[in-house]
Each structure stands twice: as structure tokens, then as C-alpha cells.
Structure 1
Amino acid sequence: MSSEFPPFAVTVDLVVLTLRDGHLHTLVVDRGVEPFIGVPALPGGFVHPEEGLTEAARRELAEETGLRLPEAHLEQLASYGDPGRDPRMRVVTVAYLALAPDLPLPVAGTDASDSRWLPTDTLLEGAPPLAFDHARILRDGVERARAKLEYSPLATAFCPPEFTIAELRRVYEAVWGTPVDPRNFHRKVTGVDGFLTPTGDTTTRDGGRPAQVFRRGPATLLHPPLTRPAAPRTPPSAAD
């Protein structure tokens, strides 16, 4: 039976982010097959006929990197279907985002020749270039992660159970990719109902004067939301 519609495939790709050594890192694999053999890419692959999208995303992540994420740490990001995004055929991909603390070193498998964590800021600058349209997917994923820190208490997951405002601020700085004014940040986070609960203790582990210690509060949404600092403006050149 003929059809006027050409065949196409569905894939899943994953933007997996974590903090390592105080910096945001992205999980990448080196492709072991064509196209783009040997080129870094986001983990992912084709959806099998008998499985759902999220099931496929979890399977591909486990097969290519050995990582298995808890249910709450994987969310659908967006879909991408430009006709030329895959040289093999028309391929529509559904991207997923995971932002989780303490993720281990990956182990490559199936059609990935290697897998590793790379600094997100260098990947966003194009070093090294990613296969397919994965640079675009990564940018979208990082932007979603940065936005989640504005309206959710996700950043506390990257802190110890009891933490200082300075430790929490360093998480925001790492994910947002920009310095945050300490006094302004302290005022904002302590002014959000249910975000933080003081323990009554203090610590000097940040150096300097004793700092209050907090736990995550009961809030699931931050109101008012936190706002990222504006990106510094580039001064005009003499020719402008």
C-alpha cells in the first residue's frame, strides 16, 4: 500500500546536567557509528516500536552511559524535527532534561565509543562541536535548568542536608553561569516563604564570621521567584 508520506523515525536525546567540582557539567558520548562517528553527542537513540518515549530515554541512557536516573529527575524538554537534522532520513527527536546531584562517572556502551562529563560552558561555546543539532538542544536544556532554579527549590538538592546561604549561592552561580551578589541573594532567598528553614545552628566552614545553617523548607514553588542577574553588557567599541 503506497503512501504520499515518506518514512520517518523517532529518537530521544538527553541533556543530563550535574555539578562536578563546583561547575556545571554535561554528559556526552563519542559516537561509535556513522553518521558523525567519533564526534561528541548527547546520549540518545531510536525509539523501539514497542516502547514509550520516556522508557526509550531511560533505556538509551543506561545502554550508552550506564547511568540510571530516579523517576523525578527526568522531564521532557522539547521536540526537534527540522528536515535536515539527521543525514540518514527524516528523524524527529524528543529531548529530555535531567539535572541531578552526585551523578557518577559514566561507562560507554552499545553505539557509544566513550562517554564522559564535559564542562557545560565550553560546550555552549562550541568546544568541542556536537553532532547533529545537539548544540541547540543543549542550549535549550541549560536554559530550562536555569529557569527551574528561579521558580523551584531544585538548587537545594545540590547542597548538603544542612547548608549555608553561601553554599546555596554557589549552586546558583554554577548553574546560572554568572556571579550573584551575596547580600541581594541572601535577602531574596530568606524572603521566599517556605524555601529555607533555619536550623538554629551556625558554622564557620565558609570562613569568616559564623553563618546561619538552613535546611530545605516545604515549598515546592518559589514565590516570589528568584531572578537571574542580567548578563553584563559588552562595552561599545571605538568604532561604534
Structure 2
Amino acid sequence: MDKRVCLAIQTVADAPSLRKIHGLPADLSDFEVAEYALQRLRANGEKGVLPPYLQRIEQIALVCCGATELRLTLLSEARAGGEREVLRQLADLIPQEAEVFCWGTLDPAILRCRALHHELASPKLAGADVRVTWQDLQALAMGCPHEVELDRYGQVLGMDTSPWLASLESTVRPLGNLSCARKAVLSMHALLRYELAAGQIEPVDYTHALSLALGLAQ
């Protein structure tokens, strides 16, 4: 199994924590709680994005590039029975020695915050195990930190016409994880493009990787 993996997450507001912080009544819906918190951020001149420790993981998509196929694994809080179990499953899926690539720094920060939240002893999630490193793919690909949507960057590079993305429509859309899965697959495509540009892989290896079929782990 390839030790390079690309990971993407989908989050929602951590409504219970926001209720505690802002002293909000229990009868407010989760949506109303999230809107209140975002309005407070904007009123203070901050971006309308909740900090990592106030986001809850709803879905995770993990992509590994093997010798014969591109393997996509989807984890869902709803199917797993809670966020804690999703994080446990993810820790089991990440190889003992791995480079985990995420588009930007937010996803790893959220994963670490949620591991702390659930009191999980998982060095592979918390980043303490030197055998597992977390890489900011956006910074690697662009050479300097930028806030660029991966979907938009993928269109610029022509990755939106990839057969991998076409196969997601039939295999993943019925499961409801299309957005998260799409980001993980685009990340793997961007990683391969970066490795080619950096001279880390040969053109023939790059072409071979792009020719691999996308398989969905059961």
C-alpha cells in the first residue's frame, strides 16, 4: 500500500460547544446557534469561519494511490455512530508510516482538535508520531500560502475533466459524500501534478497513476 494518502473532511458547527461558550438556550436549533456564532465573528471583524476547535467532523474521504487502482475510503459520522468512532476508524486506516496530504492547514487542525475533544489517544491524528507527517498540499503546490479553493484550482489545471471525477458521480453521489470525496480525489491529482513538477516522479509514472481506475473501499 502506498504510504502517501490524501485526506479531506466535511464539517458542521459544534453546536453543543457553541451553546456553552455563548450561553445560548437549549431550544435554539443547531442552525440558529451556528448563525449566531458566525454573526458574532463578523461583528468582531473576523472572517465568517469557525475556528477548528468549534467544528465537528461529519464526513471524511481518504484516497490512497496503489499499484493497480486509486482507492477511495469514505467515513460518515451518521453511518459510524458518531464522530468519535469516525476518528477511530480513520486512525486505523492511516498506515503506520505515512505522509498525509491535505489542501491547506485547516483539516489537520480540526482533526487534532477533535481527537483532543474526544480524549482519543491517537498519535496518528494528533501528529505526535514522527512516522506520520501532515503536509499542506496547497503550500507545496503553490510555493507560498494562498487561500485558494481546490475546486477552482482544479478547473484551472484541467483536473475537473478527470475520469476519476466522472466515476464519482455514479459510485459516490448515492452515498451523499460527493463534495468531500471530490476534494480528496482532486488532492491526489494535485499531489501527483506537484510530484511531477518537482521531479519526484517520472512522467511515465505520472501517466500510469492517472490511468488507474478509481475503486471505492467497502
TM-score normalised by the shorter chain: which range applies? 0.3 to 0.5
**Structure having the larger proportion of residues in helix:** 2
Higher strand share: 1
> Scaled by the length of structure 2, what TM-score is found?
0.35
Q: Choose between structure 1 and 2 for higher RCO, CA contacts under 8 A separated by at least 6 residues.
A: 2
